[in-house]
C-alpha cells in the first residue's frame, strides 16, 4: 500500500447525539493526526449527521482511522476518499472597506472576475462571499490583501463523493430486521 | 432520545408504574439481572442509595472503600462470570475515581456499566460543588457513555447501556444521571434493548474467508495458533479445543487468553509475549502459518513488529474489524464471533498431526525448563521464589482456582505457573497493567461465583494501592485468599533498573508495614512465611480455610522474571537470562 501522504476526505454518517464530535476528534488527537478541516451538518437522511473531515495522511492511516471511527457505537458508517473521488468545495467571506470600491477601480474588476457574490454593502464596508477550490480562494485573498481586508474567514471543505455511500440501505435493513 | 435508532424486546407483560428516576434505575438493574453492584455514596447519587435501602434483599450493594475498588470489583465480577459488572459513584471525585477501572475495562474488553450521579441539570456548566464533566473525561475510555437529565430517558439509556456493554466486543459504559432526574417521577416501563441502528456488534462471518483459512492451515507444515481473550468472550472454548485437536496445531495464548484451554492440554504450548514461554515466542518466527484467534497483537505480545512472524502467512480471527491489519497484516481475515467462526473452521479442517513440529516446542521447553523453570519452582537457593509459591498453590487448588493477579513480577510468575482447568480463571489487568487491580477484582470475582476458589496474587507494591479493600472483604465476608509476594521492591521496575539502567534503584525499594498485623486488624486470618519449611503448611492452611485468608510470603528480593523479550526487541531475541 502506498505510504505517500495525501489529502483524504473522511465522510462519517452518525446518529445525531451530543458527545460524538468529542469521540471522533479524540480518535485523531490520540494518533497525532492534525485535522485540516472538519464540518458537520445534517446529511441527506433525516436525523443522520454527516462529518466531513480532511486530513493529510497515508492510505494505511486512513483505513485505520475509518476502522476506529466505525467502531464508535453511534457512528453508522465511515468512508475515506481521495480528492479525485470527490467533488469538493470551500467557501469564504471577505469584509472590505466600502471606500475601496470607489477609490480603487481595480477592486471592481477583481470582483467581476472572481465569480464571487456581494452579500451586503453599506457605507462602511461590503461583504463578499466566494465558493470554490482552495487555490481560487487563496488567489482572491492575495489580490485583496494588497488593498487591505477588514476580516477574512474560510470554511472547512464540504464534499460529496462520486461513488455511492450506501447508508440508507443500512438504515433500511435495520428497520426491517 | 430518538427511539427509531434502537430496537427493544417486546415485553407485553411489563406494566407501567409511576415512580422516581432513582427507583427506575434500581428497577432497570434488577431487570437486567444484576444481583450485586459495587459503589460508594455521595450527594449527587443519594436518591439512588435511598432506593437501594428500600430494595435490600432484592439487590445487594457492596460498599467498597474507594470508588476505584468498586470499578475493579465490577471488573472481577464480569471477568469470572461473563455477566455485566456494575459500579456506582457520586459526581465529581466519586466519578473520577472510577476512571482507572473504566480505562482498564476498555482496554481489556470487560463488560461493566458505571452509574454516576451528577449535579442537578440547572447547575451543569456552573462549576457547581462536585461537578465534573465525567462524560467528557470518560469518552476516550468508554465504549459508550451518556448523560441523562430527564427521568423519562432513564429506561432507554440503561437498556442501551447494558446491551452495548455486553454485546459484540464488550466494554465499559458510563451513564451519568443528574440529581433532578433521579428525583423526578415519571411513567416507568422497562424493555431490554436488542439492537442499535448505528452499531454492528457481530460482523457476519464470510464462509469464503473461513475456507481460505482452512486451506492455509490444511497445507501448513508448521502452523501455530495464538489465541486471546476473544475465545473466552465468545464462549468458544469448546470450539477452540476441537480445532486444536483435529488440526493438531500447537496453540499458545496471550495473557488474557489464559485458561480458555486447560494448561495441561498436550497441545497447549504456553504463553506468548514479553515474559511468555521460550518456545512459542521463538517459534513465532519460524512457523509457516500463524493463526491468531481473538487477540489483538499487543506490543507486549509481538515485540518489534518489523521482525514479527514475517515468514508466516497470518490468519486473523476477530470480532472487531478495527483490529484487522491494525498491527500485523493479515493474509486472511475472518470476522465474526469466535464461537461461530471456529465452528465453521472445524468442519473445513483436515485431521492432522504435526508431531515433528510439536517436538520443536517440546525441545525448547526443555531448554526453558533447565535454565529458568527448574530454578523458579524447585529452587535450591536459600531464598523463597515466587514460582515455588505458585507451585504450592497448584498442589492444593488442583488447577481449579481462579487466580487474580496484580501487576508486576508476581503477575508474570502467576500467569506462567498457575495451572488452569477451567476457563475464565486468569483474572489480571493485561492491557492497562493497573497496579491495585487484584484485591478489589478478587472481591468481585468471589462474590460473583462464590462456589469458586479465588486466590489473589499480589506484590507488596500493588497491594498497598488498594489495601483499603480489606475492609470490604471483612464486611462482606468475602472468602478471598490473598497472597502477597513480598520482595520489598517494586520488583518489575527494579528488574528493568537492574537490566537496563545499571542497577540504579531509584525509588523502587519499599519499607513495608507489618502486613499480617494489618490483615488481623481487619479480622482476617493471616500468616507470614519466611522459610521454605513453612510454605507448604501455610498454603495448605490457607487453601483449606473457609473464610478469607491473608498469606504473606517473603521472597528473594532481587529475583528476575525470565524469559524476557526486552522492549523493542524481536520475539526471537527472547532471553533466558
Ligand atoms: C498504577 C500503576 N503505577 C505504576 C505502574 C508501573 N509498575 C509496573 S510493575 C511495578 C512494580 C510492581 O511492584 P509490586 O507490586 O511490588 O510487584 P512485583 O513486581 O514486586 O511483583 C510498577 C511500579 C503500574 N503498572 N501501575
- Nearest by CB to B196, which of A14, A26, A73? A73
Taking the C-alpha atoms of residue B219 and residue A142, their distance in angstroms, rounded to an integer, is 65
Taking the C-alpha atoms of residue A15 and residue B4, their distance in angstroms, rounded to an integer, is 11
Taking the C-alpha atoms of residue B253 and residue B263, their distance in angstroms, rounded to an integer, is 10
* Total number of domains in chain B: 3
**Which residue of B66, B407, B486 sits with most ligand 1 atoms within 8 Å of its CB, as the best mutation to test the pocket?**
B407
Amino acid B278: pLDDT: 98
- 3-state SS of chain A: helix, strand, coil percent to 5? 35, 40, 25
Q: Taking phi first (over 0 means left), then psi (-120 to 50 degrees means alpha), and beta for anything else, what does residue B106 get?
A: alpha
pLDDT surpassing 80 at residue B84: yes
Closest residue by Cα to atom 17, ligand 1, is B459
The runs of H, that is alpha helices, within chain A are 20-30, 59-71, 99-103, 105-113, 134-145, 167-176
- What's the distance, CA B554 to chain centroid? 27
- DSSP, collapsed to helix, strand or coil, labels residue B552 as strand
Q: What cell numbers appear for B234 in the block?
A: 465468545
Closest residue by Cα to atom 5, ligand 1, is B435
Answer whether B40's CB lies under 8 Å from B472's CB: no
Domain containing B307 — which CATH number? 3.40.50.1220
Amino acid A2: pLDDT: 74
B421 and B355 part of one domain: no
Binding-site residues on chain B for chain A (CB distance < 8 A): 2, 4-5, 7, 135-136, 139-140, 143-147, 164, 195-199, 320-322, 324-326
Residue A18 confidence class, pLDDT cut points 50, 70, 90: confident
pLDDT surpassing 90 at residue B77: yes
Domain assignment of residue B368, yes or no: no
Is the CA virtual torsion B361, B366, B372, B374 positive or negative? Answer: positive
pLDDT surpassing 90 at residue B15: no
**Which residue of B409, B490, B508, B561 sits with most ligand 1 atoms within 8 Å of its CB, as the best mutation to test the pocket?**
B490
Answer whether B337's CB lies under 8 Å from B234's CB: yes
pLDDT digits (tens, 9 = 90+) for A140-175: 999 999 999 999 999 999 999 999 989 999 999 898
Domain assignment of residue B575, yes or no: no
Residue A177 confidence class, pLDDT cut points 50, 70, 90: confident
B387 and B332 part of one domain: no
Answer whether B37's CB lies under 8 Å from B59's CB: yes
Helices (H) and strands (E) in chain B, counts: 23, 22
Domain assignment of residue B85, yes or no: yes
Share of chain B above pLDDT 90, in %: 98
Q: Give the Å distances, CA to CA, from B447 to B232, B247, B256.
A: 20, 39, 21
Amino acid B230: pLDDT: 98
Taking the C-alpha atoms of residue B182 and residue B178, their distance in angstroms, rounded to an integer, is 7
Locate the ligand 1 atom nearest the alpha carbon of residue B434 and give its number.
26
Catalytic residue among B1, B46, B130, B215: B130
* Averaged pLDDT score across all residues of chain B: 97
Answer whether B1's CB lies under 8 Å from B156's CB: yes
pLDDT digits (tens, 9 = 90+) for B483-496: 999 999 999 999 99
Write out chain B residues lying below 8 Å of A74, CB-based. Answer: 144, 198-199
pLDDT digits (tens, 9 = 90+) for B174-194: 999 999 999 999 999 999 999
Distance from CA of B28 to the nearest CA of A (A): 21
B547 and B432 part of one domain: yes
Taking the C-alpha atoms of residue B177 and residue B28, their distance in angstroms, rounded to an integer, is 14
| CB distance B409 to ligand 1 below 6 Å | yes
Answer whether B278's CB lies under 8 Å from B368's CB: yes
B189 and B298 part of one domain: no
Burial of A97 (0-12, 13-18, 19+ CB in 10 A): middle
Catalytic residue among B27, B179, B241, B446: B179
B88 is catalytic: no
Catalytic residue among B67, B156, B184, B340: B67
pLDDT surpassing 80 at residue A1: no
**pLDDT (average), residues A38-54:** 95
B107 and B219 part of one domain: no
Give the DSSP letter of residue B228.
-
B114 and B169 part of one domain: yes
Domain assignment of residue B564, yes or no: no
pLDDT surpassing 90 at residue B112: yes
Strands (E), B35-123: 36-39, 60-63, 85-89, 112-118
- What's the distance, CA B40 to chain centroid? 22
B216 and B180 part of one domain: no
**Which residue of B69, B107, B389, B408 sits with most ligand 1 atoms within 8 Å of its CB, as the best mutation to test the pocket?**
B408
Amino acid B533: pLDDT: 97
Taking the C-alpha atoms of residue B310 and residue B292, their distance in angstroms, rounded to an integer, is 14
B313 and B274 part of one domain: yes
B217 and B146 part of one domain: no
Amino acid A27: pLDDT: 96
pLDDT digits (tens, 9 = 90+) for B216-260: 999 999 999 999 999 999 999 999 999 999 999 999 999 999 999
CB contact under 8 A, B326 and A22: no
> Does the bond joining B563 to the residue before it have cis omega, within 30 degrees of 0?
yes
pLDDT digits (tens, 9 = 90+) for B135-152: 999 999 999 999 999 999
| CB distance B493 to ligand 1 below 6 Å | yes
Q: Give the Å distances, CA to CA, from A1 to A5, A61, B306.
A: 12, 11, 16
Amino acid B3: pLDDT: 57
The closest alpha carbon to B100, from B407, B319, B318, B323, belongs to B407
Q: What are phi and psi of B3, to 5 degrees?
A: -75, -10
pLDDT digits (tens, 9 = 90+) for A91-107: 999 999 999 988 998 99
* Averaged pLDDT score across all residues of chain A: 95
Ligand 1 centroid to Cα of residue B388, in Å, is 21
B177 and B213 part of one domain: no
Taking the C-alpha atoms of residue B303 and residue B118, their distance in angstroms, rounded to an integer, is 43
Residue B13 confidence class, pLDDT cut points 50, 70, 90: confident
CB contact under 8 A, B136 and A22: yes
| CB distance B432 to ligand 1 below 6 Å | no
pLDDT surpassing 60 at residue B101: yes
**pLDDT (average), residues B533-551:** 98
> Does the bond joining B459 to the residue before it have cis omega, within 30 degrees of 0?
no
Answer whether B90's CB lies under 8 Å from B116's CB: yes
B492 is catalytic: yes
CB contact under 8 A, A15 and B198: yes
pLDDT surpassing 60 at residue A66: yes
Chain A and chain B share a number of CB contacts under 8 A equal to 55
Complete domains list, chain A, with CATH: 6-86 (3.30.70.260), 88-154 (3.30.70.1150)
Ligand 1 centroid to Cα of residue B484, in Å, is 13
pLDDT surpassing 80 at residue A114: yes
- Dmax of chain A from CA atoms? 67
Residue B529 confidence class, pLDDT cut points 50, 70, 90: very high
Taking the C-alpha atoms of residue B455 and residue B478, their distance in angstroms, rounded to an integer, is 12
B303 and B249 part of one domain: yes
Domain assignment of residue B299, yes or no: yes
Q: In 10 A of CB B458, how many CB atoms?
A: 30
Share of chain B above pLDDT 70, in %: 99
Q: What cell numbers appear for B20 in the block?
A: 422516581
Q: Could you tell me the residue range of the domain that residue B92 belongs to?
A: 3-196
pLDDT surpassing 80 at residue B317: yes
The closest alpha carbon to A99, from A151, A152, A148, belongs to A148
B270 and B330 part of one domain: yes
Query: Given strand A48-57, what is the order of strands in its sheet?
Result: A35-42, A48-57, A6-15, A75-82
pLDDT surpassing 80 at residue B268: yes
pLDDT surpassing 90 at residue A17: no
Taking the C-alpha atoms of residue B92 and residue B110, their distance in angstroms, rounded to an integer, is 24
CB contact under 8 A, B145 and A19: yes
Amino acid at each position: 500500500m502506498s505510504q505517500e501522504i495525501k489529502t483524504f476526505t473522511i465522510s462519517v454518517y452518525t446518529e445525531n447525539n451530543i458527545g460524538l464530535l468529542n469521540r471522533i476528534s479524540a480518535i485523531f488527537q490520540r494518533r497525532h493526526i492534525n485535522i485540516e478541516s472538519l464540518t458537520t451538518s445534517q446529511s441527506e437522511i433525516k436525523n443522520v449527521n454527516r462529518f466531513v473531515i480532511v486530513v493529510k495522511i497515508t492510505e494505511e492511516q486512513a483505513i485505520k482511522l475509518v476502522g476506529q471511527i466505525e467502531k464508535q457505537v453511534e457512528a453508522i458508517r465511515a468512508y475515506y476518499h481521495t480528492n479525485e473521488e470527490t467533488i469538493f468545495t470551500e467557501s469564504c467571506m471577505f469584509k472590505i472597506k466600502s471606500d475601496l470600491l470607489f477609490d480603487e477601480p481595480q477592486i471592481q474588476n477583481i470582483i467581476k472576475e472572481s465569480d464571487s457574490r456581494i452579500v451586503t454593502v453599506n457605507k462602511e464596508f461590503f461583504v463578499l462571499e466566494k465558493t470554490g477550490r482552495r487555490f481560487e480562494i487563496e488567489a482572491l485573498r492575495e489580490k485583496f490583501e494588497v488593498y487591505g481586508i477588514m476580516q477574512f474567514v474560510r470554511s472547512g471543505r464540504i464534499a460529496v463523493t462520486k461513488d455511492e455511500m450506501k447508508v440508507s440501505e443500512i438504515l433500511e435493513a435495520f428497520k426491517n430486521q | 432520545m430518538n427511539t427509531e435508532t434502537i430496537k427493544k424486546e417486546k415485553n407485553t407483560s411489563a406494566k407501567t408504574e409511576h415512580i422516581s428516576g432513582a427507583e427506575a434505575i434500581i428497577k432497570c438493574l434488577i431487570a437486567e439481572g444484576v444481583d450485586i453492584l459495587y459503589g460508594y455514596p455521595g450527594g449527587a447519587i443519594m436518591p439512588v442509595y435511598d432506593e437501594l435501602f428500600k430494595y435490600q434483599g432484592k439487590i445487594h450493594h457492596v460498599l467498597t472503600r474507594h470508588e476505584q475498588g468498586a470499578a475493579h470489583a465490577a471488573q472481577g465480577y464480569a471477568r469470572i462470570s461473563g455477566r455485566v459488572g456494575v459500579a456506582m459513584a457520586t459526581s465529581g471525585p466519586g466519578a473520577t475515581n472510577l476512571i482507572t477501572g473504566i480505562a482498564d475495562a476498555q482496554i481489556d474488553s470487560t463488560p461493566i456499566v458505571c452509574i454516576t450521579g451528577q449535579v442537578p441539570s440547572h447547575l451543569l456548566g456552573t462549576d457547581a460543588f462536585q461537578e465534573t464533566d465525567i462524560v467528557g473525561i470518560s469518552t476516550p475510555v468508554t465504549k459508550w457513555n451518556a448523560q441523562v437529565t430527564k427521568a423519562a430517558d432513564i429506561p432507554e439509556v440503561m437498556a442501551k447501556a447494558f446491551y452495548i456493554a455486553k454485546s459484540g466486543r464488550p466494554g465499559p459504559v458510563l451513564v451519568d444521571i443528574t440529581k433532578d432526574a433521579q428525583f423526578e417521577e415519571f411513567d416507568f416501563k422497562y424493555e431490554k434493548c436488542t439492537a442499535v441502528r448505528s452499531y454492528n456488534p457481530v460482523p457476519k462471518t464470510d464462509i469464503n474467508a473461513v475456507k481460505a483459512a482452512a486451506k492455509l492451515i490444511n497445507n501448513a507444515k508448521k502452523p501455530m495458533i495464538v489465541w486471546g481473550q476473544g475465545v473466552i468472550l465468545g464462549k468458544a472454548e469448546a470450539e477452540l479445543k476441537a480445532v486444536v485437536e483435529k488440526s493438531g496445531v500447537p496453540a499458545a495464548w496471550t495473557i488474557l487468553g489464559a485458561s480458555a484451554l486447560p494448561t495441561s492440554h498436550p497441545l497447549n504450548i504456553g504463553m506468548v509475549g514479553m515474559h511468555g514461554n521460550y518456545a512459542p515466542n521463538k517459534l513465532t518466527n519460524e512457523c509457516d502459518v500463524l493463526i491468531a484467534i481473538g487477540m489483538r497483537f499487543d506490543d507486549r505480545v509481538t515485540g518489534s513488529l518489523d521482525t514479527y512472524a514475517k515468514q508466516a502467512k497470518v490468519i486473523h480471527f476477530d470480532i472487531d474489524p478495527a483490529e484487522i491489519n491494525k498491527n500485523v497484516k493479515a493474509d486472511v481475515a475472518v470476522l465474526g464471533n469466535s464461537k461461530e467462526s471456529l465452528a465453521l473452521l472445524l468442519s473445513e479442517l483436515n485431521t492432522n498431526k504435526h508431531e515433528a513440529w510439536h517436538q520443536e516446542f517440546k525441545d525448547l521447553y526443555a531448554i526453558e525448563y533447565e535454565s529458568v523453570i527448574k530454578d523458579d519452582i524447585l529452587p535450591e537457593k536459600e531464598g523463597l521464589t515466587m514460582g515455588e509459591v505458585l507451585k504450592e498453590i497448584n498442589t492444593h487448588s488442583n488447577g481449579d482456582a481462579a487466580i487474580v493477579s496484580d501487576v508486576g513480577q508476581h503477575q508474570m510468575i502467576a500467569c506462567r505457573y498457575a495451572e488452569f482447568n477451567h476457563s475464565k480463571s486468569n483474572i489480571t489487568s493485561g492491557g492497562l497493567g493497573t497496579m491495585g487491580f487484584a484485591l478489589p477484582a478478587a472481591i468481585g470475582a468471589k462474590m460473583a461465583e462464590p462456589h469458586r476458589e479465588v486466590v489473589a496474587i499480589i506484590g507488596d507494591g500493588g497491594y498497598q494501592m488498594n489495601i483499603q479493600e480489606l475492609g470490604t472483604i471483612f464486611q462482606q465476608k468475602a472468602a478471598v485468599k490473598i497472597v502477597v509476594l513480598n520482595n520489598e521492591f517494586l520488583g518489575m521496575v527494579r528488574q528493568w533498573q537492574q537490566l537496563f539502567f545499571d542497577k540504579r534503584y531509584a525509588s523502587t525499594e519499599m519499607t513495608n508495614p507489618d502486613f499480617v498485623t494489618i490483615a488481623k486488624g481487619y479480622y482476617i486470618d493471616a500468616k507470614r512465611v519466611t522459610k521454605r519449611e513453612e510454605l507448604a503448611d501455610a498454603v495448605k492452611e490457607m487453601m483449606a480455610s473457609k473464610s478469607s485468608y491473608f498469606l504473606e510470603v517473603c521472597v528473594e528480593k532481587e529475583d528476575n522474571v525470565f524469559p524476557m523479550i526486552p522492549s523493542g526487541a524481536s520475539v526471537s531475541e527472547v532471553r533466558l537470562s
